[in-house]
Amino acid sequence: MRSQKMTGEIVQVWISVPDAEGRSHLESRWVTPEIAAQLHTTYAA
């Protein structure tokens, strides 16, 4: 068994994802706070 160490935290974000017909729906993702901040900046514009 390999030893693993958790570092940092994760946060849940909701992102809009298009389906095969082009309709959007929300899906949640668990990401690091740094990625969450980048997503917030991208979608806030």
pLDDT tens digits, one per residue of 23-39 = 999 999 999 888 888 87
Sign of CA dihedral 38, 40, 43, 45: negative
Amino acid at 42: T
Residues 6+ apart with CB under 8 A from 7: none
CA distance 37 to 31: 10
Q: What is the count of structural domains for the chain? A: 1
Half-sphere exposure of 22 (CA within 13 A, CB side): 0
Kindly state whether residue 20 falls inside one of the protein's structural domains. yes
Kindly state whether residue 6 falls inside one of the protein's structural domains. no
Kindly state whether residue 25 falls inside one of the protein's structural domains. yes
Kindly state whether residue 4 falls inside one of the protein's structural domains. no
Q: What is the pLDDT of residue 4?
A: 47
Kindly state whether residue 32 falls inside one of the protein's structural domains. yes
Kindly state whether residue 3 falls inside one of the protein's structural domains. no
CA distance 23 to 16: 10
Q: What is the pLDDT of residue 19?
A: 92
Domain that holds residue 16: 11-44
Kindly state whether residue 17 falls inside one of the protein's structural domains. yes
